[in-house]
A and B are shown apart, each in its own frame.
Chain A
Amino acid sequence: MALESMMETIALDITESTKTLFETMIMMDLKYNEASLVDDTQIKTDVIGMVSFTGKYHGVIALFCSKRFALKVASTMLMTELTEFTSEVKDAIGEVSNMIAGNVKTKLMAQCGDMHLSIPIVIAGEGLSITAVNNHPVVADTTLSCFSKDPWLMTPFISNNEKFSIGLLLKESNK
């Protein structure tokens, strides 16, 4: 199936998975807007929680948010007020990314076949950007699409007056 025609369904899967997570384990309000394809040059963030997947299709599902939002989410999950960006906050963001990715993957598998998830990676800093490596060849099925010039399918959310986004890079693996 052409990737473009799957995008609308995948965007719904991302929204549904994020809603379910917020209703069950985060217990914070959630609003969302329509997903769109965005170039990586438009991404500026403090925190990235990323899970990659491989299979007939491969790619990355990533949470992009501010440190303030990451602290709020971790504080809610742990039921304690966290004020410092500790390893516990990174762990919580990794787990949030993991739960969203896992649920999206389960929904995607009906269209995309079996996929394997990586363990989450969390990167934190100030005003982080993702820069594609120009002309980097896709050398193997498992190569992350971060190294390609493909646009992200980005779904913007608002919770607790903070913006965050869930991005997806998806690419059919070489046969």
Chain B
Amino acid sequence: MPKVLIIDDSAVMRKIIQRNIQQSGLIVDEFVEAGDGREGLEKAASNNIDLILCDWNMPNMTGIDFVKALRGSGQKNNVPIVMVTTEGSEAKIEEAKNSGANGYLTKPFTPDQLKSKLGNFLLVK
């Protein structure tokens, strides 16, 4: 039963992502939310997460530090992480991939772009 963790300091963006996924036909049973990387680590540890969507620029702990911390912990290594961020440079994309992110989507995005990116990790109804 797919459970998706959305880490973004904007509650509005977390709602938009959820709505787009629900309307896209991608199968998700539950969404878990976190407002920064630190809360994301706690939520990832205490939930059986199947996919993580993570912003980059956040207070307390950035998205890239979250990815490094989660991958460095040796836990949840099989859980895919897709960065969803305004950071769109090649250097940032490369850094995210080298740190253990499995996908990258630049904001702003269309519902189709989100579906296409997450379709690699979630089933469609």
Contact = CB atoms under 8 A, between A and B. Distances in A.
B16 interface: yes
B110 A103 contact: no
A34 interface: no
Interface in A92-140: 92, 94-95, 98-99, 101-103, 105-106, 109, 114, 117-119
A99 B107 contact: yes
A24 interface: yes
Nearest to A24: B108
A103 B58 CA distance: 17
Given A21-B108, A117-B57, A106 B89 contact: yes
Nearest to B107: A99
Interface in A70-97: 74, 77-79, 88, 91-92, 94-95
Contacts of B19: 79
A119 B58 contact: yes
A3 B13 CA distance: 34
Interface in A1-30: 20-21, 24-25
A67 B90 CA distance: 36
A105 B85 CA distance: 13
Contacts of B91: 114
Nearest to A91: B12
Nearest to A26: B108
B117 interface: no
Summarize A's interface: helix, strand, loop or mixed: helix
Would you call the interface of chain B mostly helix, strand, loop, or mixed?
Answer: loop
Nearest to B10: A95
B86 A98 contact: yes
A101 B58 CA distance: 15
A46 B87 CA distance: 28
B55 to A, nearest CB: 9
Q: Which of B16, B19, B85 has the most CB of A within 10 A?
A: B16
Contacts of A79: 19
Interface string B26-46: 000000000000000000000
A92 to B, nearest CB: 5
A95 B57 contact: no
A46 to B, nearest CB: 19
17 contacts: A20-B108, A24-B110, A25-B108, A77-B12, A78-B12, A91-B10, A95-B12, A98-B57, A99-B86, A99-B108, A101-B86, A102-B85, A102-B86, A102-B88, A103-B86, A118-B57, A119-B59
Interface of A: 20-21, 24-25, 74, 77-79, 88, 91-92, 94-95, 98-99, 101-103, 105-106, 109, 114, 117-119
Given A79-B19, A102-B107, 10 more contacts: A24-B108, A24-B109, A25-B108, A77-B16, A99-B108, A102-B86, A103-B108, A106-B88, A117-B87, A119-B57
